Structure 1
C-alpha cells in the first residue's frame, strides 16, 4: 500500500485555531505539575550537600584561587660570587647606559617616546623586581669551603641591602638540587644561608627559595620536610616557601603517563609559590639541538601548557624561562638580541606567562619595554569593559564574571609594575586597587 504523501490533507480540521491548546496538552501539563510538586527540593539539596561534602572541601583546599599580592614581572639570576648589596643599582645604571649607547636601536623597538621615558624611570627607581642569588648552575661546583664563604658573604650582603632599603621587593636563593650527587651540598647551602640571613628569626618579606631540576614528587615532599625542620632549627616565625623549577622531562610526564607537575603542586602542602620553566635544561634533556633551544620552541610550549593547567586556581604562579642571546657586542648584535628578547617577552605575556628570567643588565630595557607596552596597549579596552561591567551598562561585550576577573587582574598587574597610573585607572575603570583586587579575587 503506498505511503500517504506528506502534503496531503489529514483528518485534522483545518479551521481549528493553532493557539488553542488541546485537552491532551492540558492533561500533560497538569500531570507534570503534579509530579513536580512531589519533589522536596530542600531535602534533595541536603542529600547532595552530604554527598559532595568531601569533594567541596577538597576543591577549596586544592584550588583556593589566585595568590594575593603582587607578582614580579621577572626574576634576575646572579651567580652568588658576583652578588653584593649594590647590585640592584648597578644593574639599573648598566641598563640605562646600554640604552644610551644604542639609543637608535632601542628607540626603533619601543617606537614611543613616552614609553621610553617610563622605562628609564623604572630603571632608575626599581630596575630589579625579583632577585635570585644563584648557587646552582650559575655558580657551579666549588670546594665546600669556598661555597661556604660565598654563602656567608651573600647572606650578609643581602641583609645589608635590606637594611639600607636598596634590596628588590622580592629576593631568594637557588641552591643545588635534591638529586643524589648534589643533595647534601644544596641542603648545606640552604641552611647556612638562612641561618646567616634570619638571625632575628624573621624571614624577609618576599623571600623564596628555588628547588631546581626536580625529577619526582618525592623530592617535593622532601622539600616540605626540609622546610619544616629548617623553620624549627633556625627559629623562623613565618613559613618557608619555595618555587619548583620545571626543567626535566620527568616533571612534565611521569613513568605512568601522568603530568607529575600537577602532583608536585599539591604535594607541596601549600608551600609552592611558583613553577619556573627552565628553557635550556629542559630542551637539552629531551634531545633538542643547542641551535634550536628556545623559549618559543614547540616542545617548550607543550611543557608550559601542561604547567599552566597544573597551576590553574591553585595560587601557584608561573614564570617563563630565559633567552641566552645577550645584548652585548656591536650595534647589530645588540639590536638583534633586543628585538628577540622584546618579542619573546611579549609572546609570553600574551600566553598568560607574566614573569620570566633575565640574565644580564642589558635585558632589563626590553623586559620593561615589552611589559609596559603590553599593559598600556590593552588598558583602554580593559578599562572600558570593566567600567561597563561594574555599571551594568550595555556594551559591545557581554562579559561574564570570569572575564571581569581577568580584566581586573590585567589592570592590577599593570599598576603593580608601574606601567599604569593609579589615578588614571580609578578614573577610567571606576575602581581603586582594593576594588580591583576584590574583583580579581586577589584580596
Structure 2
C-alpha cells in the first residue's frame, strides 16, 4: 500500500450548514416540482370512441375487427413482415405477439369522447350517454373485462361549452361513485386548453367533486390536451405548457398532442397535417422539456389515414401508421392515439418490434452496470435508469416476458424498478 495521504480542510462545518440552510427552499421545490416518473404502467395508446358509439362490447369488437383485418390483408407472419419491412428474426415473434395481444387485451386505454368525436347534442341525450358510459365502465371493471385505463374526454372549459362539459363530467363521475366507486385506472382528458387558468379551474372543479362525495383530496387527476398555439407559447413569450403543469397542482397525469387542431391553428393545410410535420415536432419538443422530471407523461397524436378498402390501400395505411409510431418511439413519445380498429395491428407491431429489437443490447448493458462489469460502453446511473425503463415498458405492453428479461439481466421486476426510479442524487448501484 502507498503512503497514507494527509487530509486537511480550510472551511468550518458552519459554512456547509449555512449553504444547506440557504438551499433548503430549493431542495423542497425540486422535490415538489420534479418528483420523477410515477413508476406506474403507461399505456402505449389511447383509443377514442364517441359517447353515442361506446357499448359494452366495444373492446372486444375492436379486437375482433383488428384480427379480421390481419386475416384478410396479412394472414401470416411472412406477409405481415413484408408489408412493414420487419427483419426475418422479428417476423414470427412480432406477429404472434400482435395476435395474442388482440385476443387478450386489444385496447390499453379507452376514452369515451364527448368532445369533437361526439359534437353538440341535446342536453338530455348527452346526460344519458354520460350516465351510460359510467355504468358500462363500472360493469366492465366489476367483471374484469375493462381496459387497464378508461375514462372520458369532456368538452373544454371555453365559455360556449363550459357548462355542458362540467355537467357531463359530474354525471359521469357521480355514476361511477354510485356504481361502486372510482376505478383505479380512471383517466379524464381536458381538451383545447389555452390558458393555465383553465387548468386551475379544472383543479377547483375536481376539488369540489371530491369534497361533495367525501373523496380523498387529490384522488382525481386529468390529462391536458395540447391543441392550440397558445398552449405552447404565451403572448409574453413564456412556454404556456410548463405553466399549465404547475397550475394543475400535482393532478396532471399527461400531455396529449392534438395533431389536427394544433396544425390547423398554425395554418397548416389539411394535406400536410401530420404528427411528423415540423410544427408538430416543435410543439412536442416543448411539451417534452416542460414535462421532463415532473411525472407528467407525453402522448403523441394520431393519423387520420384509415386502413380501410382494398388490400393495397390498407397496406399503405399500415406502413404510414407503423412508420409514424416507430418515429414517435425513437423520440421518447411512448403513447399515441389510435382512431380505428385497423390501427391496432400496426400499433402493436411497431411497439413490439421497438422493444424486441433492442432487448438483448439493453439487457446486456444493464446487467453489466448492475454487476459493475466493464464493457465497450461506459454507462452512468441516468443511462441505467433509461435502460431499465425501456425494459419495463416492454414488459408492461407484452413485447417482453419477465422470464427472459430476468434471465438476461439477473434482475427481478423490483430490481428493474429500483434502477428506473432512483432517489434524487443517488449514484449507487442497487436493486439486484
What TM-score range do you get, normalising by the shorter chain?
Answer: over 0.9
C-alpha distance 200-79 of structure 1, shift in aligned 2 (>3 A):
closer
CA distance in 2, matches of 1:314, 1:369: 30
CA distance in 1, matches of 2:353, 2:186: 28
Which of 37, 42, 45 is the matching residue for 1:66? 37
SS in 2 for 1:366: helix
CA distance in 2, matches of 1:38, 1:252: 49
Bigger mean CA offset, 280-289 vs 200-209 = 200-209
SS in 2 for 1:142: coil
Native 8 Å contact 2:109 2:150 kept in 1: yes
Per-residue deviation at 1:132? 0.3
SS in 1 for 2:52: helix
Native 8 Å contact 2:59 2:107 kept in 1: yes
Native 8 Å contact 2:318 2:346 kept in 1: yes
Per-residue deviation at 1:165? 1.1
Per-residue deviation at 1:201? 6.2
CA distance in 1, matches of 2:26, 2:133: 46
SS in 1 for 2:47: strand
Which of 355, 361, 371 is the matching residue for 1:391? 371
Larger C-alpha radius of gyration, 1 or 2? 1
Which of 388, 398, 407 is the matching residue for 2:387? 407
Q: Does structure 1 residue 143 correspond to structure 2 residue 117?
A: no
CA distance in 2, matches of 1:66, 1:114: 30
Q: Deviations over 1:400-426 (max 9, x none)?
A: 000000000000000000100100100
Per-residue deviation at 1:202? 2.6
CA distance in 2, matches of 1:98, 1:198: 38
CA distance in 2, matches of 1:68, 1:442: 11
CA distance in 1, matches of 2:372, 2:166: 55
Unmatched 5+ stretches in structure 1: 1-32
Counterpart for residue 430 of structure 2: none
Counterpart for residue 83 of structure 2: 109
Native 8 Å contact 2:66 2:102 kept in 1: yes
Counterpart for residue 190 of structure 1: 169
CA distance in 1, matches of 2:332, 2:422: 17
C-alpha distance 124-193 of structure 1, shift in aligned 2 (>3 A):
same
Q: Does structure 1 residue 348 correspond to structure 2 residue 328?
A: yes
Bigger mean CA offset, 349-358 vs 61-70 = 61-70
Q: Deviations over 1:260-296 (max 9, x none)?
A: 1001101111100000000000000010000000000
Which of 372, 388, 409 is the matching residue for 1:429? 409
Per-residue deviation at 1:158? 1.4
Native 8 Å contact 1:74 1:356 kept in 2: yes
SS in 2 for 1:119: helix
SS in 2 for 1:198: helix
Per-residue deviation at 1:236? 3.1
Counterpart for residue 249 of structure 1: 229
TM-score normalised by the chain length of structure 1 = 0.90
Which of 113, 123, 129 is the matching residue for 2:108? 129
Q: CA RMSD in A?
A: 1.5
Counterpart for residue 153 of structure 1: 132
Q: Does structure 1 residue 206 correspond to structure 2 residue 185?
A: yes
CA distance in 2, matches of 1:359, 1:394: 46
Unmatched 5+ stretches in structure 2: 1-5, 424-432
Native 8 Å contact 2:138 2:179 kept in 1: no
CA distance in 2, matches of 1:94, 1:392: 49
CA distance in 1, matches of 2:36, 2:325: 25
CA distance in 1, matches of 2:179, 2:106: 28
Counterpart for residue 52 of structure 1: 23
